[in-house]
Every structure is written in C-alpha cells, then in structure tokens.
Amino acid sequence: MLTFENVHKSFGSTQALSEVSVRVDRGTVVGLVGHNGAGKSTLMKMALGLVTPDSGEVTVAGKPVTQIGRFGGLIAASFDASALPATWTAATMLSVAGELSGVPSSQVPHMLEKVGLSAAAGKKIGQFSSGMRQRLALAVALVSDPQVLILDEPTNALDPVISHELRGWVTQHAARGGSVLISSHNLQEVEQVADRIVVMHKGHVARDAAIGELLDANSVLVRVDQPATLTQTLNQLGRRVTPLPGGTLRVEAATTDEVGEIAAAQGLVVRELSAERNQLSDIYQLITAEGAAQ
C-alpha cells in the first residue's frame, strides 16, 4: 500500500536517507525504530509529500505521492502535537480536519469521545496538557479512517489507559485492511503491535524483518527434575546448555519438541518447557551497535 523505493535525501551536506526501501502492505503494522537522526521522521514525512526525495520514489496504492492531489481518506498522520493551533478549540480542530477529509461533522463528537476529550471539546488547545494535545493529534489522524495511518511517537505523554487503547486502534485498523507505519522510542509498545520491524541507522535500513523472525532466539528454556542428567545428554548430542537460576536450563539451537523428546526418552519429569523469546530492545541495541562498528 505504502512503498518507499530506493529513496535518498540530503539536507545540505547532511545525508538523511540513503537507498531506503520499505513496504507497508495492506493489513500490516510496520514499526520504524532507530536513534534520533536515523531518518525516521524524514521518511514518514515523505509519505505525505512534506519532504521530497532527491531520488527514488514514494507511492501510495501504486500512485506516486507527488501525483496525489487529496489525501483525505487515503492517508493521515499524527506528528508533533505541539504544532496544533493554540487558539483553536478541540472541536474546531477536529471539525476542520474532518471537513478537509470529507468526513461529516457528526463524527466529531464520536471521535472526541473515543480519545477521551468530550469534556474539553470547547477548550482552547493552548490550555491543554501535553497528554491532551497528543490525544487530539491522534483524533485528527483517525477521524477520516484513512487507508494508510502514520504515527510518529504516538504514545508520548499518554497515560497507560489511552496507550492501551491506542494499541487496540492500531491493530483494529490493520485488521480492517488498513496499513500502519508507526515510529516510537517505546520499543515495548512497538513490539506489541508491529507485524514487521524496520531498524534504521544513520539513514540506512539496518534490518527489515517480521517480528517473529527478529525476536526468535532459537533456544529453549527447560526445567526438569534431574537437570544434570539432561545436561549431560544434550552435551553429548552437541547442544550447548547454560544453567540459569532456579534450576532452569537454556538450550541453544534447539526446539521445544526436540528437548521435550530427549527429556522423555531419559524418563525425566518436565516442569517447564518453552521457546525463549528475545526482547526488541536487545535486538535493537545489537543491530545499531553492529551498524556503528561498520
């Protein structure tokens, strides 16, 4: 649905993006992560025509962004909530956003209720807290129910309840066939909603993989009644075993089926058996460290 193909961008002598290719297909959520200055915001702004690539192409539904005259219902974004007009009320802001997208004004009260701002509909945005501004920015992005939804740091200043609801909105949007590109430094939030992860480092794509592939540790955690016996057998089979606190063993380059069958053949009682899963934060640090060393 949203495609970046070999895009390059420099600002003066500073190279922001180099040979970046990313796809956000229908029904998927792609998480964009990377340090400040990695090029995430520049890439997302290209999807809206706010930044023009020096070379390469950005397309939405197969059409170049530069040839799309009206984004209403097609693509919407939530960027810097502090940029919302301070003298407007929440209701005015959302009414204008809806009108520009061809959404009837009757949807405004519903959307304000959805993000928890019904009581502040007539309040000026300049009087809003950071969290309230962020909620309104999300409402502006969601009001047109766009085919492509772009969210840049959407959970900034949000309380846990709204953050949880946001994850639900994102997954529901994708389940209906929409496309979502979400950038955040909150890696735990991204890990919970993304189907794919794109790790950016110094303007390049350092890694682009399905979340399951990225976090698969290819190791097993097992706890049995006789860990020494299982360890000896696994070592004989060429498996590397690491003892962990509580009597748990980490078995590398193995599956739960394999370890379970080996334990059963030894007549051992299995107390715990599960595939180990990496954390996105650990993978992110590893990938960016490798990129910095190159």
What is d(CA 173, CA 99) in angstroms, rounded to the nearest whole number? Answer: 21
What is the bridge-based pairing of β-strands 29-33 and 196-201?
Answer: parallel
Comparison of pLDDT for 257 and 217, the residue scoring more? 257
pLDDT at 3: 94
pTM: 0.77
- pLDDT mean over 46-65: 91
- pLDDT mean over 105-120: 89
Q: Where are the domains of the chain?
A: 2-213, 216-278
- DSSP class of 89: B
**Strand runs (DSSP E) across 140-269, as ranges?**
148-152, 179-183, 196-201, 204-210, 216-224, 241-243, 249-252
- pLDDT mean over 223-227: 94
Q: C-alpha 141: how far from its chain's center?
A: 16
Is the pLDDT at 294 greater than 70, yes or no?
no
Least trusted range by pLDDT, from 8-22, 151-165, 195-209: 151-165
Q: Percentage of the chain with pLDDT > 90? A: 49
Question: Is there a contact between 203 and 17 (Cβ–Cβ < 8 Å)?
Answer: yes
- pLDDT mean over 9-31: 94
Question: Is there a contact between 76 and 95 (Cβ–Cβ < 8 Å)?
Answer: no
- pLDDT mean over 175-189: 90
Residue burial 263-276, b: 16+ Cβ < 10 Å; e: rest: beeeebeeeebeeb
Is the pLDDT at 166 greater than 80, yes or no?
yes
pLDDT at 213: 81
Looking at domain 216-278, its CATH class is alpha beta
pLDDT at 293: 46
- pLDDT mean over 41-64: 91
- DSSP class of 126: G
What is d(CA 232, CA 24) in angstroms, rounded to the nearest whole number? Answer: 47
Q: Which fold has domain 2-213?
A: Rossmann fold (3.40.50)
- On average, the pLDDT of the chain sits at 88
- pLDDT mean over 46-58: 92
Comparison of pLDDT for 102 and 279, the residue scoring more? 102
What is d(CA 29, CA 255) in angstroms, rounded to the nearest whole number? Answer: 28
Question: Could you tell me the pLDDT band of residue 76, with boundaries at 50, 70 and 90?
Answer: confident
Comparison of pLDDT for 82 and 53, the residue scoring more? 53
- pLDDT mean over 123-130: 92
